Amino acid sequence: MEFPKLSISNEWKNLNQFKKLSDDKRTIVFYAENKASMNHFKTLIAELTENLNLQICYVTSVKDDPILSSTNKKILPFYVGDGIIRTQFFLTLKAKVLIMDMPDLQTFHIQRSKIHPVHYIYIFHSMFSIHSYLRKNALDNYDTIFCVGQHHIDEINESEKIYNLKPKKLVKYGFGRLDTLLDEKKIYENSNTMKKNLIIIAPSYGENNLLHRCGIKLIDILLKSNFQIILRPHFRTIKESKSLIDLINKNFGKNPNFILEKGIIPFDSLYTSKCMISDWSGISLEYAFTFEKPVIFLDVPKKILNPDFTDIKLEPIEISIREKIGYVVSTNNLEIIPKLLNEYETLISNFDDEIKNIRSKTVFNIQTSAKVGGEYILQLISEN
């Protein structure tokens, strides 16, 4: 697939074309900060455009976003980059609804519109608790929050109470990414796809993530134990820790059993994998809840973006369920991991029912979240 050559003049042109649209075509707008955004928008966009027959605009900061070559006439795509044109897009936005998975609205350079009363909807890109993985004021300036589960509702209500914030509309939504994964899993279950001796390593970012703490040693142990490895670093690690990524490539890049995945992990790799090893990455819950298999968690220090997170007297969901959906292994005891993996098929039976039970208690509207979100947005634009 070929993408158009883009420059700052193209970004201005796209912004001007967006502004020239009639009001009805600019009613519903999605904004994508990165490629992962579509993972969380996909089911909702399908509901709005295919089932409800609504027109949407999709504004992206991704140069090679596949949406730019979409032939869906119900989706109008625009590329605005991540600089001054994007800033202008937000400041001068005229639309009824803007949906995005980017937190910290009105905190840094991404501001609410100065010319129109846009209704801002936030969709979570992680099932994690708000006070542990987001900044203190990350959601304060949104109008509606599409909550993954009851933990988000409880946490937001508590933060509004403690900090005397204006109440937001909290929708019992769910997690679109999980719905997509479960749908894809059904397709693969009807195929003859063979399982592999494949381990996926999916770290979070930050100075204490497992790659920085023990990544090279972990990969070496697994490869010497005859496992295949897909390493998917966080996109921020790829950008901010190039020397570490280069060193990993130098050590293992020529090994036929090692793959460094810099994009989104293909679903067939997820499906055919034996296990996932992670630290505090949100993908760990996606994996456990999709495949109903335990995750191996390396016990590195948790990344905390909110220094005041203890103001909210609720245990973060990713802490409270961690030992119920997987094994926590010390970074000083990596040698035990091959033994766990070799016994993995037996161990799965100890977690199967527990993971299903926790999933049902943690996530709203499993496989129907898009319908809930679509109905809410339709009602919202009909009222205004």
Domain-embedded: residue 311: yes
Domain-embedded: residue 3: no
Question: Which residues, listed in sequence order, are joined to residue 58 by a DSSP beta bridge?
Answer: 30, 77
Do residues 314 and 190 both lie within one domain?
yes
pLDDT, position 172: 98
Average pLDDT over residues 142-164: 98
Do residues 141 and 193 both lie within one domain?
no
Domain-embedded: residue 57: yes
Bigger pLDDT: 195 vs 37: 37
Do residues 170 and 198 both lie within one domain?
no
Do residues 84 and 42 both lie within one domain?
yes
Domain-embedded: residue 54: yes
User: pLDDT tens for residues 97-114?
Assistant: 999 999 999 998 899 999
pLDDT, position 264: 85
pLDDT, position 196: 81
**Angstrom distance (rounded) from CA 337 to CA 96:** 51
Do residues 310 and 370 both lie within one domain?
no
Paired tokens of 188 = 């693969």
Looking up residue 236, the CATH number of its domain turns out to be: 3.40.50.2000
* Domain of 118, in residue numbers: 8-175+366-383
pLDDT at 346 over 90: no
**What percentage of residues in the chain have a pLDDT greater than 90?**
87
pLDDT, position 349: 81
Question: Which residues, listed in sequence order, are joined to residue 278 by a DSSP beta bridge?
Answer: 202, 297
Do residues 98 and 67 both lie within one domain?
yes
Of 334, 323, 315, which is closest to residue 295 (Cα–Cα)? 323
* Residue with token string 């390396």: 298
pLDDT, position 179: 98
Do residues 347 and 209 both lie within one domain?
yes
Q: Which amino acid is at 20?
A: K
Handedness of CA 245, 248, 249, 255 (dihedral sign): negative
Paired tokens of 164 = 């005397």
**Angstrom distance (rounded) from CA 325 to CA 65:** 34
**Angstrom distance (rounded) from CA 384 to CA 139:** 23
User: pLDDT tens for residues 196-208?
Assistant: 899 999 999 988 9
Q: How confident is the model at residue 1 (pLDDT cuts 50, 70, 90)?
A: very low
Do residues 135 and 227 both lie within one domain?
no
pLDDT at 314 over 90: yes
Q: How confident is the model at residue 7 (pLDDT cuts 50, 70, 90)?
A: low
pLDDT, position 3: 46
Domain-embedded: residue 66: yes
Looking up residue 30, the CATH number of its domain turns out to be: 3.40.50
pLDDT at 9 over 90: no
Instruction: Give the chain's domain count.
Output: 2
Do residues 169 and 37 both lie within one domain?
yes
Domain-embedded: residue 1: no
* Complete edge-to-edge strand list for the sheet that includes strand 97-100: 75-79, 56-60, 28-32, 97-100, 119-123, 144-147, 169-172
Bigger pLDDT: 350 vs 257: 257
Do residues 256 and 170 both lie within one domain?
no
pLDDT, position 344: 87
pLDDT, position 352: 82
Cβ(39)–Cβ(20) under 8 Å? no
Domain-embedded: residue 156: yes
Do residues 358 and 370 both lie within one domain?
no
Average pLDDT over residues 330-336: 96
Domain-embedded: residue 236: yes
Do residues 211 and 351 both lie within one domain?
yes
